[in-house]
Structures are given as C-alpha cells and as structure tokens.
Structure 1
C-alpha cells in the first residue's frame, strides 16, 4: 500500500507542476509584448478564478494530503473521487486544443492527462487494497 500512496503523491505533485507550467506557457507572450488577456476589458471573472484555483491547487493538495496522511479506506475513497474529478477536468481541458490550437500547450496538456490516467489507476489499486482490509 505504501508504494501506491508514494506514487499517488508524486503524481499529484506532477499534475500541480504541469498546471503551473500550463499557466506559465500562456503568459510567455508577455516577454514579446504580446497581449495575453482573454477579455479586452481586463476584468477577470471571479467564478473562473475560483474554479481554476480549486482545480489547479486545492483539489491536488487535498489528494496529496490524503495520500500522505490518511491511510484508511476514507483516504482512499476521497483520493479516488478527486482523481476522477481531476481526470475529467484534464480531459475537457485538453479538448480545448481542438477549438483553439496552441502549439505550446501540445507538449503540456497531453502529459498532464497521461499523469491523470496513471493517478486514477493507482488510486483504484489503493482503494481496492484499502477496501479489502
């Protein structure tokens, strides 16, 4: 069980790093004095900011804490639910490449999705081991 939780914690950290790199890649045009604003008004929708904060930081940190500190079935179940949510978010986020193709994101988003799939697989294994005890 320890091997699953260590890998799960590492994958949560990799997803957080990937999402941070995704954001950084979106901001790189600033170095060439190019606009990066989605909305020309400069107003950021608060609900979008909250959603991105929850999905890119809070959800992975809760999953990471479950893997590192909650060793019972409860931790495995919470982690599995969070892994499913993260996989769905990353799948839908990757599908945005079909609508507005960004070559820089082509190297980041598929890797995050792959790590999300591996996270879900190990989360399922951890849940099965925890449920059998």
Structure 2
C-alpha cells in the first residue's frame, strides 16, 4: 500500500491537520474484532478527510513467550475504513502514530477546554 516513509509523511500531515483543527476526530467504542481475551482497545477515534474514513486506536495485546507465559504489549493502528466501519487497509507501523494519537486526544473538547475552565 504505502512505504514506511510515505506512511510517516501521511501521519505527520494528519498530525498537522489535527493540531490546526482542519480535521476533526470523533470517538467510538471498539468493535468485536478489536477486542477479545488476548486484545484490548480503550477508545477508537475516527475522522473523515477528503472523502476517506480514517480510524486510529492503541491496541494492547498478549504477547506469548511460550504456551502459558505472556506479557502485554501495545501497538498503534491507523486504518482506512468504509462507511460501515469495515477495514479497507492498514498503514504500516511508524513511531509517529503515537504522536497522532496524542494530537487527537488533545483535540477532545473536554481536555482542550480544561485550561480555560481551570483559570476562569
């Protein structure tokens, strides 16, 4: 789909658009394929930009060391979805996806207005 370099550029652009409020993200609960006994997702963020639906979330999953021992690991997932939420494709993993999630979370009105509310 995209190279790692292209993906990093796409994520950087999404961060910039999010920070300048040119793209707005909504939150959703995770759907069944994202969660299960070996996987957990707390919150899913979705945006539509230039006719494409983009979904981002942090997935926590069990990483098995052997048949019985495991530890929890995590990954950032950035996907393209259709209007029904079905997966069209995933972007390759890049470190800057965590920065995108932070930008999206900061855009949340409840968080973003905290400073103003605190110092009224």
**With structure 2 as the length reference, what TM-score do the two structures score?**
0.29
Write 1 or 2 for the structure with the bigger share of strand.
2
Which of structures 1 and 2 has the larger relative contact order (alpha carbons within 8 angstroms, sep 6+)? 1
Higher helix share: 1
